[in-house]
Chains A and B, each alone.
Chain A
Amino acid sequence: MITGNGAAAWGARLARSEIVPNFPITPQTAIIEVISSWIASGEMNADFLPMESEHSVQSALAAASSAGTRVFSATSSQGLLLMTEMMFVTSGLRLPVVMVNVSRALSAPITLWSDHNDVLAQRDSGWLQIFCSNNQEVLDSVVMGYKIAENSDVLLPMMINLDGFILSATREPVEIPDQDEIDDFLPAYNPKHTILDPKEPMSVGGVVFDEYMYFRSQQRMAMCNSKDIITDVCAEWEKMTDRRYGLVEPYCLEDSERVLVICGSESAILKYTVDKLRADGEKVGMLRLRTVRPFPCEGIVDALSDVEEIGVIDQDISPGSGGIIATEMKACLGRDVTSFIAGLGGRRIGAEKYEQMFKRLGRDVEEWIF
């Protein structure tokens, strides 16, 4: 039984992350605390770098990754936003950094509880984004994250999101794979595209002018490539662990007429609601987006093409536009969806409200569920 934060730390340890720059922020802090204790006791062979800000954490991740080491860190909320400038640099330099974000709503007003506006504020930064639904998935995603990010057809950083407190502080049964097994699965990182060694002088981070757009298009191609790589790595993981992951997680969609789309750990209560309504004969289902970048458009279209009514639950809001995921879903599907804004700042949703949402599908509106 370990917390989501414990699972994240175990992922970094099993992946043999070598350098862990860090800065404390609630509700992420327990991740770096446990890593610091493992490094101190010799259970984890890594350098623990306490930095003076999250901006410096992301800078240190980029520098250490440029020099070819495998790096890890974790952050939350304001910390993630302080990294913003460097998030784009890490991705633009094509550095396969893996970082956990423990989602927490953004200030002001300042709060500790979870929603997804912190992660989604980094939506366009060129990072792969995975949203986890339970603690096992957190551990598995961190280890798989390195294999995906370091793939030469991808070479993009990956952010793994777990919901603050709901997962970060809740204990769940988590199977911890053997180190030998992981060592076979995840070979050492030996980059060819960034080397900081006087034997092979390379200028990293130089100026471009007309070529800029060419580099951005390569980044976009890498993001497209990542869909297949994620699928392949998940298949390999399933062979090893019997645990199945992908870009999306469909739940009871075979004959569903009404479906709610969601990200993250709230999917557990939504599944419970689906089971309950199905027991009453209602044809309802759920689709969980596990990746938001890359946006799994093909998987969404496959899963939802025969569904009559679609609702999208956003634990985020882009004022002046609407729910961020709902907006992307409409663009992907080319049809109307009902947009529910719920759970901001960790506001409890619960099964009754999911039932209410299923009843209110079928209108092209944005509805706030308080």
Chain B
Amino acid sequence: MKDTYLKRLTDIPMEDYLVGGHVACQGCSASLGLRLALKVLGKDTIVINGSGCMTLLPVYPTTPLRVPWLHLAIENSGAAGTALYYALRRKNIDANILCYAGDGATYDIGLQSLSGAAEKNIDMIYICYNNQSFGNTGHQRASSTPRASRTSTTPVGKVEAAKDMTAIMAAHRISYVATACPSYPIDFLNKVTKAAEVKGMAFIDLLVPCPVGWGFDPSEGINIGKLAVRTGMWKLYEITDGRVNLTHIPKKRRRVSEYLCAQGRFSHLSERDIEEVQAEVDQEWSSLEARGYGYEIMV
């Protein structure tokens, strides 16, 4: 492991580029994700934001950001990042380009623009802060919403499974793809470091538990993220050279009911529904175990 990688929490840089006093909700993991990412990316970073919860960070005439920030619209972070890459090259500015956009802006409305940037393998880091819904408008269904989750537009639970976004990104043969969760900051930040080190595009799907949309106490956000991973419902992995490798394997997987029953969005599920989810997760993990927690995704 290179010495640029973090080993313990105290290795996380103290310096902050997203400072306190902003208007994100209490217990918001999305703003935590950005704060953490900027700690390792440092001051030479330019953030491009797709409209969503994080758009409310700079409220005129104030800004909690100590690095440059560009917000244009919801669906064009990929295009904006592409143009910024060339503009910075012309201006001789050496900076990380960090696109920080929500899952609605990534899985759904911005997929085309993101695909355009991925096809060109533009040297930038794209972090999708994934609260599994259109969070800023009040938790509506998105293609990132998991099956069974209740949203304000799926009052009896979503029927379809979430889109496999990382596989879509891997299929573009970009340089680096990973999933993460701010509840596992060392794992997340080392992935951000790798994302910054690789030449070409890096995509990180970052699960950010949302107290308002998911229905849990704001103090519980970190625990909910941990439960998502410990129950096996959110897998931490990276994809390099067409190969998926898990970066964290829960020693003893917890029952999915611990995760589901802690959230209002799953409170309508019957025991039988929960057992179905458990069976699905079990099946997936036995398949993963059989493959040594790593497998080829691209030929």
Co-assembled chains A and B? yes
Give the B-binding residues of A (Cβ under 8 A). Answer: 18-19, 21, 47, 49, 51-53, 55-57, 59-64, 66-69, 85-86, 89, 93, 195-198, 200-209, 211
| Among candidates B49, B55, B91, B116, residue contacting A197 with C-beta atoms closer than 8 Å | B91
Cβ of A204 to closest chain B Cβ, rounded Å: 5
State the 4 A-B residue pairs at the shortest beta-carbon distance, nearest first: A52-B116, A206-B58, A56-B79, A205-B71
Within 8 A of A (CB), among B25-62: 43-46, 48-49, 55-56, 58-61
Q: B67: nearest residue on chain A (CB-CB)?
A: A201
Tell whether, in the assembled complex, residue A198 and residue B80 are in contact, meaning their CB atoms are under 8 Å apart: no
The secondary-structure label for the interface of chain B is: mixed
The secondary-structure label for the interface of chain A is: mixed
Q: Which residues of A contact B112 (CB under 8 A)?
A: 52-53, 56
Q: A66: nearest residue on chain B (CB-CB)?
A: B70
B168 within 8 A of A: no
Q: Which residues of A contact B63 (CB under 8 A)?
A: 203, 206
Write out, one digit per residue, whether chain B residues 100-127 have a CB within 8 A of any chain A CB (1) or not (0): 0000000000001101100100000000
Q: How far, in angstroms, from A21 to B86 measured CA to CA in the complex?
A: 10
Cβ of B95 to closest chain A Cβ, rounded Å: 5
Q: Which residues of B contact A208 (CB under 8 A)?
A: 59-60
Q: B86: nearest residue on chain A (CB-CB)?
A: A47
Tell whether, in the assembled complex, residue A55 and residue B113 are in contact, meaning their CB atoms are under 8 Å apart: yes
Say whether, besides A59-B80, A60-B79, A86 and B73 are in contact (CB < 8 Å).
yes
B69 within 8 A of A: yes
Give 14 new A-B contacts, CB below 8 A, not counting A69-B86, A211-B61.
A19-B90, A21-B82, A53-B112, A56-B82, A56-B113, A59-B79, A63-B79, A63-B82, A69-B90, A196-B88, A203-B58, A203-B63, A207-B55, A211-B60
Q: Which residues of A contact B83 (CB under 8 A)?
A: 19, 21, 49, 59-64, 67
Q: Which residues of A contact B80 (CB under 8 A)?
A: 59-60, 62-63
Q: How far, in angstroms, from A56 to B44 measured CA to CA in the complex?
A: 25
Q: How far, in angstroms, from A260 to B86 measured CA to CA in the complex?
A: 47
B288 within 8 A of A: no
Q: How far, in angstroms, from A49 to B232 measured CA to CA in the complex?
A: 41
Q: Which residues of B contact A57 (CB under 8 A)?
A: 79
Tell whether, in the assembled complex, residue A196 and residue B116 are in contact, meaning their CB atoms are under 8 Å apart: no
Count of chain B residues near A, Cβ 8 A: 44
B66 within 8 A of A: yes
Q: B78: nearest residue on chain A (CB-CB)?
A: A56
Tell whether, in the assembled complex, residue B66 and residue A55 are in contact, meaning their CB atoms are under 8 Å apart: no
Q: Which residues of B contact A59 (CB under 8 A)?
A: 72-73, 76, 79-80, 83, 113
Q: How far, in angstroms, from A345 to B32 measured CA to CA in the complex?
A: 54
Tell whether, in the assembled complex, residue B87 and residue A64 are in contact, meaning their CB atoms are under 8 Å apart: yes
Q: Which residues of A contact B66 (CB under 8 A)?
A: 201
Q: Which residues of B contact A66 (CB under 8 A)?
A: 70, 84
Q: Which residues of A contact B82 (CB under 8 A)?
A: 21, 49, 51, 56, 60, 63
Tell whether, in the assembled complex, residue A64 and residue B60 are in contact, meaning their CB atoms are under 8 Å apart: no
Say whether, besides A203-B68, A206-B58, A211-B60, A53 and B113 are in contact (CB < 8 Å).
yes
Tell whether, in the assembled complex, residue B87 and residue A198 are in contact, meaning their CB atoms are under 8 Å apart: no
B187 within 8 A of A: no
Say whether, besides A196-B70, A201-B65, A52 and B45 are in contact (CB < 8 Å).
no
Tell whether, in the assembled complex, residue A198 and residue B46 are in contact, meaning their CB atoms are under 8 Å apart: yes
Cβ of A68 to closest chain B Cβ, rounded Å: 6
Tell whether, in the assembled complex, residue A198 and residue B93 are in contact, meaning their CB atoms are under 8 Å apart: yes
| Among candidates A19, A68, A86, A204, residue contacting B69 with C-beta atoms closer than 8 Å | A204
Q: Which residues of A contact B48 (CB under 8 A)?
A: 63
Q: Which residues of B contact A209 (CB under 8 A)?
A: 59-60
Tell whether, in the assembled complex, residue A198 and residue B44 are in contact, meaning their CB atoms are under 8 Å apart: yes
Tell whether, in the assembled complex, residue A51 and residue B79 are in contact, meaning their CB atoms are under 8 Å apart: yes
Q: Which residues of B contact A203 (CB under 8 A)?
A: 58, 63, 65, 68-69, 71
Within 8 A of A (CB), among B120-154: none
Q: Which residues of A contact B205 (CB under 8 A)?
A: none
Tell whether, in the assembled complex, residue B76 and residue A55 are in contact, meaning their CB atoms are under 8 Å apart: yes
Cβ of B21 to closest chain A Cβ, rounded Å: 14
Q: How far, in angstroms, from A55 to B69 measured CA to CA in the complex?
A: 21
Which of B48, B86, B93 has most chain A Cβ within 10 Å? Answer: B86
